[in-house]
Structure 1
Amino acid sequence: MKNLCLVFLSGLILNVYSQPASFSSKGIGGGGALFALSINPANNNEYYVACDMGELFHSTTFGDSYSQVNFQQVIGGHNSKVCFTSSVGLLYTVSYANNMIIPKKSTDNGVTWSALPGNPDNTQETFSIDADYNNPNRLIISYYSNIYFSSNGGNTFTSIHTATNSGAGNVVGGVFFDGNNIYIGTNDGLLVSTNGGSSWTTSTITGIPSTDRIWSFAGAKSGTTTRLFCITANAANVYVGLVGSAYFGFPTGVYSVDYGSGNWAPKLTGINTATDFPMFVGMAGNDINTVYLAGSNSNSVPDIIKTTNAGTSWSHVFSTSGNQNINTGWSGQGGDKNWTYGECPFAIAVAPNNSNSVIFGDFGFVHRTSNGGTSWQQAYVNNAGQHPVAANTPTGQSYQSSGIENTTCWQVHWMNANTMWSCFSDIRGIKSTDAGNSWSFNYTGSTANSMYRVAQHPTNGTLFAGTSNIHDMYQSTRLQDNILDATDANGKIIYSTNNGGTWQNLKVFNHPVFWITLDPNNANRAYASVIHYSGGTGLGGIYVTSDLNNLATSTWTLLPNPPRTEKHPASIVVLNDGKMVATYSGRRNSSGVFTASSGVFIYDPVLNSWTDVSHTGMYYWTKDIVVDPFDASQNTWYAGVFSGWGGAPNGLGGLYKTTNRGTSWTKLTNASVIDRVTSCTFNPANANQIYMTSETNGLWMSNNINAATPTFSLVQSYPFQQPERVFFNPYNQNEIWVTSFGNGMKMGLLTTNGIPEFKNKNANLITIYPNPASNEITIAFENKLSGLNEMEIMDVLGKTIYSGAAQFENKINLTGLTPGIYFVSIKNNGITVETKKLLIAR
């Protein structure tokens, strides 16, 4: 075998292993609800927060910045609370992957996670998880019908309680561990063990009305006093799956008991049950007098209520009026979004050993206090954008990401090298004037919940956008008429002549506009996708105008319906010869069944007619159509397809390719691996390289897309399960931007030939010698990073051949490895911070 000589390059991965080393978050959050917060008792600066869009965020800086657990390890959800333990590296949580909501554990401080081997039934949803910090093998999980206890870290479980009401299930409001005494607050009462979980009884203490049930529960101990608190609600309103947004009129009482010396007693002084709606109770485990209640109120704004005298009196400590004691980000009184946007907490966490350290999450944001609620700070954008207390939040300011992105981004668009626009759901759209480093709502006239697509006039720069008040378009919950056919006042095309500073109505359809594109042959001609079925007689379909220059007085004409379709148009591409190719997405009828109305269609403007060029696999749920930019004839197309369910739509999803404008198609992916593909994007500097987005399988790439059978590899460093589309910066093709359904937008850096190169402030952490090497190497690691550091060696295919804790000096035996190129990476808290090449030559 020929010996190779290789120059050692820092942070560079060649195309043989061309996967980005990291992506940085660029958006400013604010879309998905934030649940299941928990603070590390050993380090109050460390906490986790889960999102209903699938993320599990991690901060070691008390919310100044966040990383994100890779979706291959954990997918976050309502009940993905991370349980810290005193055992180094041992954590527990609940993962929502592949419709299997199961408990998992990590033994390396959250870098990797594995399913608990003793989980009683992986087909059952786990609704809660609690671990004993001081006795890490003690673990409690709940299903709908049963509560289980493990004394051996999840290797085996024993059922300790069965729900008494099958219509409500087991609601576990909280667990308090106190040595061998364990207390579980449930809707069936207080479950107690006094022998470390070996046996359990339902406490007979009274005081809560028979019509009410425990909903949320917390406890603390000081000296010999064990004090428990709970929030109650009417029994008919308490059931498994209920969340914090059901607050209005929900709570019926707040109660406390010193266990063993009395009964539950009401603690409502200072709480107005007609206007205050606390949903969650939180305590530090060592403070029996300080208690927090988190909920909303009759003004529908987040509300935190606190007592320091065990409930004798309560005071409101999160003062939203005038932002009295809150350092705000872009949401707050007077801000780009008011407090009603966040509306209500979905969880509160108090540091288990420090009652001054508190965090909560709501419909879009995290807020924090380190002084017991005397003052609060936003924890969702970079602190540089934070505003002073006791002052209205200004509008139109610019913000930088802190890493917590929890909303859907559809598109990134460049007006020029510095000015960018990004289309979002829930937060409309955001604008950057500094090449994407910071973003703002500094515009007027765009008020829709969602902006799905923008297009720009090639000469005068006018922007055109499709908008709607209906978010999450063409996801599985947005395919049916009862949602999509309602009148939509913001279903329209708007335009801006000043780079997005001011928007005006161009055409109001009163139905969602999902796509808009201009004809490259005629800048006054544009096409738009409008959604409205209404039994087949609706106004939906693809519209065209040939006088776009007339703006608000332009005339739009509905084109004929393509064969089989049912007025759910999706993506549009106008070809250089004037023909137009479009996809129609899925539609589900009133019974929820997919109709065979989807696919790829060509429109001939001369004949004013359509041709169905769909593969039969596209008949139910087609997503984007992409034309190969390197094919001058524009005969090569790629179509993303989702698999549906219910029979015929099953197993059809993937990436399809045609080289003859749809006369024939080849399916490039295996549905058993990737069964839902949204889109793909070519690297503009590499005709053989594409990036492909999927629904639950992450971001993929191929370096040989023009091969008869191209190969695809997962971009390991992209952490989220559902990227939407990939965009290359036309002014700096080193930048690759990835939008997502629920995780905002992220950016990675590439070299001009498609080789990822990610510069990092922590560069030069690794020294490898000798290199090239033959039988042994020494990897020296300069530990400049806090947290857990891990070393990994991978081959050119991305297969991990070695992983372990990164020590200051690591000697690795290479005798079992084949000569060739390898890559050595350092990960800090699960995030790759540097990668270097290693050559083995003998």
Structure 2
Amino acid sequence: MKSKVLKLIFVFLLCSKAIFAQWETVYFPVAGLPQSFPCINSVEFRDFNNGFGAGHLGYLSNFHGCILKTSNNGTSWDTTYSTAMPFGFNDISYTSLATIIAVGQNINTGNLDSGLIVKSTDSGNSWTTLSTIGLTCLSFPSTNIGYVGGINGSILKTIDGGNNWNVLNTGTNSYVRSIFFINDTIGFVCGNDTLLKTTDGGLNWISQPLIIGTGFSLSKIFFPTDSVGYCNTFACGNDLTIFKTTDQGNTWISQYVNQAYCTLSMFFTDNSTGYTVGQFDVSKTTDGGISWNHQTATPPAMANFFDDIMDVFFLNSDTGFIVGNNQFYRTTIAGGATVSVNDISNPDKSTISVYPNPATDQITIELPNSETGKIELSIVNLMGQMIYKQETFDNSKIIDISQFAEGIYLIQAKTEDKKTYNKKIIIAR
């Protein structure tokens, strides 16, 4: 026992400057790259384990639309729906616990006017199909009311959960790339030189005062709250602009992101914390888009456009997923932020007490008596995986660790006023 502890302490010291992984890479199990690799354009999770990805399988002109399903947090995926050539899916979303809707289009050049809406009401076990125009995006503010967008400014609306759809007149022929409804009646669409808003469920659309110049394309719009929203341009480097509104789209301000690669999607977990993803890159802001930090995930050993990251989705502030060409990334700690195992630079982080250390079967975590609100406790292994999470109002907490493997772990406590306490421990038996 003593020699084992000494060995772990030696490893502990070697890792004292190690960084807990930001994003864990999980590859889709598809053989024959690149001819049959999946390009996943959209991802959404219902809970920590269950989620769907939508896109296409194939390479160049040999495309087959596919919907993939996971029930183990993305560790493995099964094809739950596939189309004949040459269709591909662009967006997918849960509309209730068991109902999923995906939209797509014919991805052969020149045939974008044909597409699909598919729906499952049994968690992806079976699907119904509706042929329609080429579609790129969807938004369901409630179970029965939803909107989809596509080519030539087309918007379709359903009021019966996707069984029937009516065409709305937007007054534009621009390609619709993203759609987001705050509630059943107030929503936004964006695309090529276009940002529109409706306040009456799509009957009328008003062009938004967004000056971006000609030739720009808006690729994604997202509202974390009713009043605060973000919209980004499909551009690269110094030309990349994030637009922000704090008054439900009445006015917009521009915020520049000096990013080396094009952005394709974004997601915000609250008013201030958000992510952009694109070619090779993941960037995060915690100040409402004023500044951005790169969180580049490690791409597979492929080149050029094969490394595009297409979409990002977060369940909460910690747990997120990103997808792209033959790749799936996930983070279960701090929203992909870098966490050092010896991060005690903030005095708030150095006053947590964890004992015994080394430990065998249980540990006691004690925080300062000044912390009186809700506390979120978590345990993270050296792979950056969160293996324990619980909320408590107690400053002292006993945790059973008998089921955890021997090794080095990070204990993390987050308070309601956003303080974070970190402590390293060793489990040895």
Normalising by structure 2, we get a TM-score of 0.57
Question: Does structure 1 residue 219 correspond to structure 2 residue 157?
Answer: no
Structure-1 separation of matches of 2:255 and 2:105: 35
Contact 2:95 2:142 in 1 (8 A): no
Tell me the CA shift for residue 182 of structure 1: 1.7
For each residue in 1:545-580, what CA deviation from the matched residue of structure 2 results, as whole angstroms up to 9, or x when unmatched? xxxxxxxxxxxxxxxxxxxxxxxxxxxxxxxxxxxx
1:234-253 matched pairs, under 5 angstroms = 251-253=192-194
Give the match for residue 271 of structure 1: 211
Give the match for residue 158 of structure 1: 128
Note closer, same or farther for the CA distance 1:721–1:153 as it changes in structure 2 (3 Å cut): closer
**Partner SS, residue 173 of structure 1:** strand
For each residue in 1:274-304, what CA deviation from the matched residue of structure 2 results, as whole angstroms up to 9, or x when unmatched? 37x24213223642x3332212569863221
Structure-1 separation of matches of 2:278 and 2:236: 16
Give the match for residue 377 of structure 1: 293
Tell me the CA shift for residue 148 of structure 1: 1.1
**Partner SS, residue 178 of structure 1:** coil
Task: State the one-letter code of the partner of 1:302.
Answer: L
Q: Please, which of 37, 51, 59 is the counterpart of residue 91 of structure 1?
A: 51
Structure-1 separation of matches of 2:326 and 2:257: 37
Structure-2 separation of matches of 1:122 and 1:765: 56
Note closer, same or farther for the CA distance 1:177–1:79 as it changes in structure 2 (3 Å cut): farther
Tell me the CA shift for residue 207 of structure 1: 4.1
Question: Does structure 1 residue 173 correspond to structure 2 residue 144?
Answer: no
1:396-795 matched pairs, under 5 angstroms = 404-406=297-299, 785=381
Note closer, same or farther for the CA distance 1:407–1:292 as it changes in structure 2 (3 Å cut): same
Give the match for residue 572 of structure 1: none
**Partner SS, residue 185 of structure 2:** strand
Give the match for residue 18 of structure 1: none
Give the match for residue 280 of structure 1: 219
Structure-2 separation of matches of 1:228 and 1:201: 17
Tell me the CA shift for residue 825 of structure 1: 12
Structure-1 separation of matches of 2:225 and 2:27: 34
Tell me the CA shift for residue 105 of structure 1: 0.9
For each residue in 1:586-623, what CA deviation from the matched residue of structure 2 results, as whole angstroms up to 9, or x when unmatched? xxxxxxxxxxxxxxxxxxxxxxxxxxxxxxxxxxxxxx
Tell me the CA shift for residue 356 of structure 1: 2.5
For each residue in 1:716-760, what CA deviation from the matched residue of structure 2 results, as whole angstroms up to 9, or x when unmatched? xxxx989xxxxxxxxxxxxxxxxxxxxxxxxxxxxxxxxxxxxxx
Question: Does structure 1 residue 135 correspond to structure 2 residue 97?
Answer: yes
Contact 2:91 2:136 in 1 (8 A): no
Note closer, same or farther for the CA distance 1:278–1:123 as it changes in structure 2 (3 Å cut): closer
Tell me the CA shift for residue 219 of structure 1: 1.8
Question: Does structure 1 residue 66 correspond to structure 2 residue 23?
Answer: yes
Task: State the one-letter code of the partner of 1:175.
Answer: S
Structure-2 separation of matches of 1:231 and 1:302: 16
Gapped regions of structure 1 (runs ≥ 5): 1-8, 11-60, 164-169, 233-250, 321-338, 381-403, 410-424, 427-470, 473-719, 723-763, 768-781, 791-806, 811-823, 829-842
Tell me the CA shift for residue 137 of structure 1: 2.8
Q: Please, which of 347, 352, 359 is the counterpart of residue 265 of structure 2?
A: 347
Note closer, same or farther for the CA distance 1:71–1:138 as it changes in structure 2 (3 Å cut): closer
Gapped regions of structure 2 (runs ≥ 5): 6-19, 107-114, 307-324, 328-357, 362-377, 389-399, 410-429
Note closer, same or farther for the CA distance 1:213–1:359 as it changes in structure 2 (3 Å cut): same
Greater Rg over alpha carbons, structure: 1
Question: Does structure 1 residue 256 correspond to structure 2 residue 197?
Answer: yes
Structure-2 separation of matches of 1:93 and 1:271: 34
For each residue in 1:769-792, what CA deviation from the matched residue of structure 2 results, as whole angstroms up to 9, or x when unmatched? xxxxxxxxxxxxx975485759xx
Count of paired positions: 300
**Partner SS, residue 140 of structure 2:** strand
Tell me the CA shift for residue 136 of structure 1: 4.0
Q: Please, which of 72, 89, 100 is the counterpart of residue 108 of structure 1?
A: 72
Task: State the one-letter code of the partner of 2:99.
Answer: N
Asked which structure has the greater RCO (Cα within 8 Å, sep 6+), the reply is 2
Note closer, same or farther for the CA distance 1:261–1:231 as it changes in structure 2 (3 Å cut): closer
**Partner SS, residue 42 of structure 2:** coil
**Partner SS, residue 226 of structure 1:** coil
Q: Please, which of 166, 191, 215 is the counterpart of residue 202 of structure 1?
A: 166
Normalising by structure 1, we get a TM-score of 0.31
Tell me the CA shift for residue 83 of structure 1: 0.6
Structure-2 separation of matches of 1:102 and 1:261: 30
For each residue in 1:426-463, what CA deviation from the matched residue of structure 2 results, as whole angstroms up to 9, or x when unmatched? 7xxxxxxxxxxxxxxxxxxxxxxxxxxxxxxxxxxxxx
Task: State the one-letter code of the partner of 1:345.
Answer: T
Coordinate RMSD, CA, aligned: 4.4
Structure-1 separation of matches of 2:242 and 2:196: 17
For each residue in 1:101-132, what CA deviation from the matched residue of structure 2 results, as whole angstroms up to 9, or x when unmatched? 5211111222222121xx25366543224122
Question: Does structure 1 residue 367 correspond to structure 2 residue 324?
Answer: no
For each residue in 1:683-716, what CA deviation from the matched residue of structure 2 results, as whole angstroms up to 9, or x when unmatched? xxxxxxxxxxxxxxxxxxxxxxxxxxxxxxxxxx
Identity %: 16
Structure-1 separation of matches of 2:86 and 2:406: 37
